[in-house]
Chains A and B, each alone.
Chain A
Amino acid sequence: MPIHKAEHHPLDAYLRTERLPHVWCPGCGLGIALGAYLRALQNVGFDPQETVMVSGIGCSGRAAGYVKMDSFHTTHGRAIPFAVGLKAARPELNVTVFSGDGDLFSIGGNHILHAARRNVNITVLAINNYVYGMTGGQLAPTTPESSITTTSPYGNIESPFNIAGLMAVAGASYVARWTTVHERRLQKSIEKALTKRGFSIVEIMSPCPTTFGRRNNMRGIVDSMMYYKKYSVIKEHPNPLDGVIKPGEKFIVGEFMDAPDEPTFEDKLEELKNKEFLKTSQADRTTWILEHRRHLETLAKIIGGEQ
């Protein structure tokens, strides 16, 4: 029996519909993650005009092209620096980084650590599909041990990053992990991350049936999703250090960290702008600097004379 046909989807207000259907493979979790983000945005009530989505390189990078709001598709690994710069220049904007595990944790690994350390008020949605999907399924820093990829045909010998633990230690304010199967909880978590002051990251475990699933006994499209459903364990306030993922073993999903509000990078920047010294006029500052320099010169002379 045929289903009612429709022209528009409820989320069409947030999407560039002329570019749909999107390039992602059938069964890819990126669409689910993007849908969850857009629903969260709708529920929180953020104005799309005041919201910016930044994405890096990879399959997830294409997301920036599909949303009907200001978005930027940055160079490889540099989604976070762009977002930090944007937030520093325009603190009133809601900045979200939508990027993959390869982009955020391998080439951009350094940047994400320092953004978390500075507690920049941005939201990061890290889509973890275990591999570099777009380039053909190569080994990534998040690939679980003994998994087969195109660059580890005999099984991965390296141990992967524990993203939750890494971000919690680096100083993030909000750390959560969900799979694409837990769509409702994922949406709630993104809502929380968007409204949270400080660096918030939601790791989204997403299936990649084309380049990861078919090499790791999850040949069908639905198999990866069923794997997540079977092996994920929802825990309340789990320890971030328990967030290690091993193939064929249960892994924890949930809110790893929800730290109390602390001054963010923008707050401190604003504080600095309001300092007495910076409030004075240009002429005053020049005289101050000249006096200071004269003082230093005399000091240098005294020290020099003593030697």
Chain B
Amino acid sequence: MVTQTEIKKMLENGTSQVPHGEVYIVEERCKGCGLCIAFCPKHVLVQSDRINEKGYHPPELVEVPPTDICIGCGMCERICPDFAIFVKTDKDKEKKRD
């Protein structure tokens, strides 16, 4: 856990990093409710045209603009009622804040 003072220092030094997340899906559990799409703060997800085993449309990553925009906040994981989607944060792919 990063403290408030540490965050302040990072912002002052310009060493703050934008976290990066990778979205994973257990596709056969998805019911296509669209809550992950509606509640993603970075609008990374859209509904796909594909159908899964049960006939629902699982989400997919947005093509344009940038696909690596996920910050790994985990909102989709928390809001998913079907235990289908989750995020893994990737330390190596963190970018410097502009």
B23-61 CB mask vs A (1 if < 8 Å, else 0) is: 111111101111100110000000010000010101111
| Contact A4 B38, beta carbon cutoff 8 Å | no
Interface residues on B, range: 35 or more
Residues of B contacting A5 with CB < 8 Å? 24-27
Give the number of A-B contacts (CB < 8 Å): 97
Assuming the contacts A2-B48, A21-B28, A183-B78, asked whether A9 and B83 have C-beta atoms less than 8 A apart, the reply is: yes
Shortest CB distance A192–B (Å):
18
| Contact A3 B79, beta carbon cutoff 8 Å | no
| Contact A21 B54, beta carbon cutoff 8 Å | yes
**In the assembled complex, A1 has its CB within 8 A of some CB on chain B:** yes
Shortest CB distance A125–B (Å):
15
Interface size for A (C-beta < 8 A) is 37
Interface of B is mostly: mixed
A1-39 CB mask vs B (1 if < 8 Å, else 0) is: 111111111111001000011101111111110011001
Shortest CB distance A186–B (Å):
9
Assuming the contacts A21-B82, A35-B80, asked whether A27 and B33 have C-beta atoms less than 8 A apart, the reply is: yes
- Most chain A CB within 10 A, of B62, B78, B83, is at B83
Q: How far is the CA of A181 from the CA of B31 in the complex (A)?
A: 18
- What residue of chain B has the Cβ atom nearest to residue A183's Cβ? B78
Select which of B56, B61, B77, B80 is within 8 A of A3 by beta carbon: B61
| Contact A222 B25, beta carbon cutoff 8 Å | no
| Contact A26 B32, beta carbon cutoff 8 Å | yes
| Contact B33 A1, beta carbon cutoff 8 Å | no
Interface of A is mostly: loop
| Contact A32 B78, beta carbon cutoff 8 Å | yes
| Contact B81 A30, beta carbon cutoff 8 Å | yes
A-side residues, CB < 8 A to B, are: 1-12, 15, 20-22, 24-32, 35-36, 39, 180-181, 183-184, 187, 221-222, 225-226
Q: Which 8 A-B pairs have the closest CB atoms?
A: A31-B81, A26-B31, A27-B33, A26-B33, A6-B24, A183-B78, A1-B61, A222-B38
B-side residues, CB < 8 A to A, are: 22-29, 31-35, 38-39, 48, 54, 56, 58-63, 67, 75, 77-86
21 of the cross-chain contacts (CB-CB < 8 Å) are A1-B62, A1-B63, A2-B48, A3-B25, A9-B29, A9-B83, A10-B86, A12-B83, A20-B29, A21-B28, A21-B54, A21-B84, A24-B81, A26-B31, A26-B32, A30-B81, A32-B78, A39-B78, A181-B39, A187-B78, A222-B38
